[in-house]
Structure 1
Amino acid sequence: MKKVGIFYFSGTGNTEIIAKLLAASYQQKQMDVELFRLEDIVNHKKPLILTDFDLIGVGHPVLGFGASGITEQFTKMLPVCSGMKTFVFKTASSAHYINHGASHTVINEMAKKGYQVFHNSILAMPCNCFVQYDDRLNKQLYIAAIKKVEKIVLETINDQPRELKINGFLNRLLQVLYYGEEHYGAKYFAQGLAISDRCTRCGKCVRNCPTLNISETKGHITFGSNCLWCMRCIYACPNHAIQAKNLTRCVLDRYTGGFNIDQLLNNPTLSGDYVTEKSTGYYKHFIKYFNE
């Protein structure tokens, strides 16, 4: 029996959903699978041991055209190896060409250390920042993701390569934007985070912050500047008690608390066919994604 290790970072839950779908699919094919959250490795809560795996996968959301600092930290911690087969998967609000290079630095770092990164994929998931998708599209994206996960599993089991191409100059430009957003935009966003009187001091945000940026001292919740702008704290708060005072439009209040895949998939009133062959404008580019 082959063993697969899936290492992933997920802000608001989309990448975690894909990681779990991948794990379930590998297990159905009689493969042993183990899941790891990247922050548990980076923050030394779990040891990084790869010798038991025949195949590893690294997953992350696309944050500002990049892989996020925590994903890059993880790849820098990886030990040197000799050709371990590796696949990369990413989630974004769109599988558009402009997001294809988001794993560029991660793949390069792993390749330098001897990892054979032969498969690189992107999955479109419900948008969690600035733009609120219609729930019919959200359901359609989830249904498509389930099918695409099966394809990823079959391709990686059969050593079938997959590459996402992007123009080199455009990719370099997008990387500049990404680093600007993560290093400056995220700090500005974090400076505006505040706790409302709905807070019960349950400590969930403190425990779950991937960069350990949230702390509690004498009953007061405080936010530092080491923020990824992943918005996990806001969306996962059970009391909707964390508010953003800077860049407020990036937070979709309707989804505070996280996305609920079961609620969408099991809602008979949602048709799941928002994008069709007749779609125009922004949503037209999804047609090719759904047909692939």
Structure 2
Amino acid sequence: MNCEIMLMENNVDIVYFSGTGGTERAAKCFKTSFEKVGREVTLSKVKDAPISFGEEDGLILLLYPVLAANAPRLVHDWIERLESVKGKRAAVISVSGGGEMSPNTACRAAVIRKLERKGFVVTYEEMLVMPANFIKFSGVPLSRLLLEALPKKVEAAVSRLESGFVTRSRPLPVDRLISAAAKLEQLGAVSFGKSIAVTDACISCGRCAENCPSGNITMLEGNPIFGSSCNLCMGCIYGCPTGALKPQMMKSAVLKEGFNLEAIEKAELPQNADINALTRGYSWKGVRKYLTGD
């Protein structure tokens, strides 16, 4: 459903969850783009985000990576704690490595439904695509193209929001079932976090505890201790400078070569990169459409 409403608010509150950095980049891009058009913007990680936004005009922009065809559990927990409002406008942006295709078309449905129960009016939703780092890697050339596309994609979204453009998607029925069933995988995330072993390569830097978006890691006598609120974001594993964190389950989901957005940015992008060749196959259909519009 697409239509327009003549409404845009002065204040924008951006709330985001990010594990390996892709969603954080998107959130910061939104902040920059909104500030360019004169909006006053606040940026908060979901674990530190306020739960009261008042009744005054303002837009809430929520961003999160798609985990198990849904939002991270921490995002749902935050929404449950939100104080009710009356008609405050909200937008939901999901970020994935595969794009808007099955099984991800319902990844925003539960979040939007819960926001509406709290009195928010969700007028805009969209999928952004960032480099894939779960089970399979999108490859350096394709990842570079996605990073380069991000600012323009965000500027286009901000332009639509500024103009009062309204868009709501219609998830595939089967994806609604998949998204609901994927709650079991969210429960499995707790076991995944508990299974992470700390090897002798650990240098007790504390980076994993400092950067965990779920606050699931604490340092005890120089050793990382994992709690029961892992969201399976992979941030600690890929962010460890010595590769000292090794999960003992779902090992195949972790890229052997690791994952680092900064390193990808520094890699040389082949001239005349062929998007169709880089996105060959059904599993990259959503990425291909995202980059080419076809």
Q: TM-score, normalised by structure 2?
A: 0.88
Taking structure 1 as reference, are residues 274 and 172 closer, same or farther at Cα in structure 2, changes over 3 Å only? same
Taking structure 1 as reference, are residues 57 and 279 closer, same or farther at Cα in structure 2, changes over 3 Å only? closer
1:227 to 227, 230, 233: 230
Distance 2:133 2:278 in 1: 25
Q: CA deviation at 1:53?
A: 5.9
Q: Which residue of 2 aligns with 1:30?
A: 38
Which structure has more RCO (C-alpha within 8 Å, separation ≥ 6)?
2
Q: Is the 8 A contact 1:56 1:85 kept in 2?
A: yes
Cα deviation, 1:52-90, whole Å, max 9, x if unaligned, reads 662110010000101011110111122111111111101
Q: Is the 8 A contact 1:5 1:53 kept in 2?
A: no
Name the SS of the counterpart of 1:276 in structure 2. Answer: helix
Q: Which residue of 2 aligns with 1:155?
A: 160
1:65 to 46, 69, 74: 69
Name the SS of the counterpart of 2:204 in structure 1. Answer: coil
Distance 1:222 1:26 in 2: 39
Taking structure 1 as reference, are residues 277 and 190 closer, same or farther at Cα in structure 2, changes over 3 Å only? closer
Q: Which residue of 2 aligns with 1:240?
A: 243
Q: Which residue of 1 aligns with 2:119?
A: 114
Matched residue type, 1:68? P
Q: CA deviation at 1:103?
A: 1.4
Gaps of 5+ in 1: 42-46
Distance 1:36 1:272 in 2: 38
Q: Is the 8 A contact 1:94 1:123 kept in 2?
A: no
Taking structure 1 as reference, are residues 120 and 272 closer, same or farther at Cα in structure 2, changes over 3 Å only? farther
Matched residue type, 1:223? F
Name the SS of the counterpart of 2:289 in structure 1. Answer: helix
Q: Is the 8 A contact 1:97 1:166 kept in 2?
A: no
Q: Which residue of 1 aligns with 2:3?
A: none
Q: Which residue of 1 aligns with 2:6?
A: none
Distance 2:279 2:52 in 1: 47
Q: Is the 8 A contact 1:138 1:272 kept in 2?
A: no
Gaps of 5+ in 2: 1-8
Taking structure 1 as reference, are residues 154 and 272 closer, same or farther at Cα in structure 2, changes over 3 Å only? farther
Q: Is the 8 A contact 1:275 1:284 kept in 2?
A: no
Q: Which residue of 2 aligns with 1:288?
A: 289
Q: CA deviation at 1:164?
A: 2.1
Q: CA deviation at 1:134?
A: 1.6
Q: TM-score, normalised by structure 1?
A: 0.88
RMSD: 2.2
Cα deviation, 1:199-233, whole Å, max 9, x if unaligned, reads 12122222332333222333332223321111111
State how 1:1-292 maps to structure 2 within 5 Å: 2-41=10-49, 47-51=50-54, 54-98=58-102, 99-168=104-173, 170-184=174-188, 186-256=189-259, 258-260=260-262, 263-265=263-265, 267-271=267-271, 273-276=273-276, 280-282=280-282, 283-292=284-293
